[in-house]
Amino acid sequence: MKKTFCIAAVLSCATAGAHAQGSVTLYGLIDASVQYTNNQGGGSTVAMSSGTTRGSRFGLLGKEDLGGGTSAIFRLENGFDVTDGSLGQGGLLFGRQAYVGIENDRWGAVTLGRQYESMVDYVAHLTSADWSVYMEHPGDMDLTNRGVRVDNAVKYTKTYGAFTGSALYSFGGQAGSFGKDSMWSWGGSYDSGPLYVGFGMTYARQPGDRSAGTFWKAANSADGEFVTVAHSFLTMGGGAAYRFGSIKLGGDITSTTYKDGFENQDVSFMNYEVNGVYYFTPALSAGLGVTYTDGKVDANDGDPRYIQYNATATYSLSKRTDLYAFATFQRAMGDAQVAQVTQFISPSSTNKQVSAGVGLRHTF
């Protein structure tokens, strides 16, 4: 349950004639697990992990009524590692999100700051990464594991009935070059009853310049050598999910291209995923998913490929506290040499890697 602190009374006492009303909501999530991985650099490991299913966080969400259907809004969201208390996202205080903006009931919202792009907003919910960060598409190459937040971003969002859409632009901040290190993104979703449909597209120039505090790292076995040298990056995708009775079925397709990613030629990947969840009771559910990744390296006709199988189970002790278990297996094929189910652990020394664990998640 989120805790809301209303400040309207304070405002009315402190300012004569004050008419605006506002609120600030404190919220958060703490996720910790014990996990086993069969091969990290040649040996098996057992370790504690933070944010296995959802990144551990706390945040402040604020809104002030300005009248006429218009409000000022803000969000400050911190990520942290519950195992040792350290800051997440490269040590940033509000590394998950930090923005301020204006929202109007009729015209939509404009926000400025560090924000998510459209692949996270509209497509990530359709992937197995929504169950666990250990179930991302290889290297989080399509951003659906929320590994990249966008700094210096202006974002417009509008909801019309069951449809929500947005467009984002991020200024590169490079003197003498308006476009260098810039990003843009757009997408939308249709969410009505049992049906959800989402799509998105994101483009970044010089993605390697944004590697600090993100999943765009040279150490990524699937795409690290490509993203750090690429002239630009383009990912797009979409999918749908439908729930009928106790079953929810979904699927998604994404495409990612690293322009000039290897020997001045393009590198591209396609991800194809299907998944499903069965709700045994309102408190107990289990999910299965499979993702096939097909790559193409133009410079040498390389064909890195991966297949990953994901399984999860959740039991709710209350509305705010869940026990969960997960298991994921990845096999690298073709020209892909090693497996790595997520950037949170080291690559395997072989083309196979298995990770599994149990944990506890609490929201407030």
Do 312 and 287 touch, CB atoms closer than 8 A? yes
The dihedral through the CA atoms of 344, 347, 351, 352 has a sign that is negative
329: pLDDT strictly greater than 70: yes
Question: DSSP per residue over 48-95, as a string?
Answer: EEESSSS--EEEEEEEEEEETTEEEEEEEEEEB-TTT--BSGGG-TT-
Percent pLDDT > 90 in the chain is 84
Cα 270 to Cα 130: distance, rounded to the nearest angstrom: 19
Average pLDDT in the chain: 92
207: pLDDT strictly greater than 80: yes
This prediction's pTM: 0.90
Do 358 and 350 touch, CB atoms closer than 8 A? no
Judged on CB neighbours under 10 Å (0-12, 13-18, 19+), 240 is: middle
Cα 195 to Cα 192: distance, rounded to the nearest angstrom: 6
Cα 282 to Cα 292: distance, rounded to the nearest angstrom: 31
Sorting pLDDT into bands at 50, 70 and 90, what band is 172? confident
Among residues 200, 202, 186, the alpha carbon closest in space to that of 148 is found at 202
Mean pLDDT of 161-176: 87
211: pLDDT strictly greater than 80: no
Q: What is the pLDDT of residues 218-236, one digit of tens each?
A: 888 999 999 989 999 999 9
pLDDT at site 116: 96
Mean pLDDT of 207-226: 81
User: What are the tokens at 215?
Assistant: 């999943």
Do 31 and 50 touch, CB atoms closer than 8 A? yes
Cα 289 to Cα 311: distance, rounded to the nearest angstrom: 7
Mean pLDDT of 6-32: 64
pLDDT at site 174: 64
Sorting pLDDT into bands at 50, 70 and 90, what band is 214? confident
Mean pLDDT of 154-162: 97
Sorting pLDDT into bands at 50, 70 and 90, what band is 175? low
Domains, the chain? 33-61+108-363 (2.40.160.10)
Least confident range of 20-24, 257-261, 278-282? 20-24
**Main-chain phi, psi angles of 90, to 5 degrees:** 75, 20
Do 150 and 227 touch, CB atoms closer than 8 A? no
Using DSSP's 3-state secondary structure scheme, residue 136 falls into coil
pLDDT at site 4: 47
- The residues, any chain, with a CB within 8 Å of residue 71's CB and separated by 6 or more, are 63, 64, 65, 102, 103, 104
Distance of CA 310 to the CA centre of its chain: 17
Distance of CA 249 to the CA centre of its chain: 20
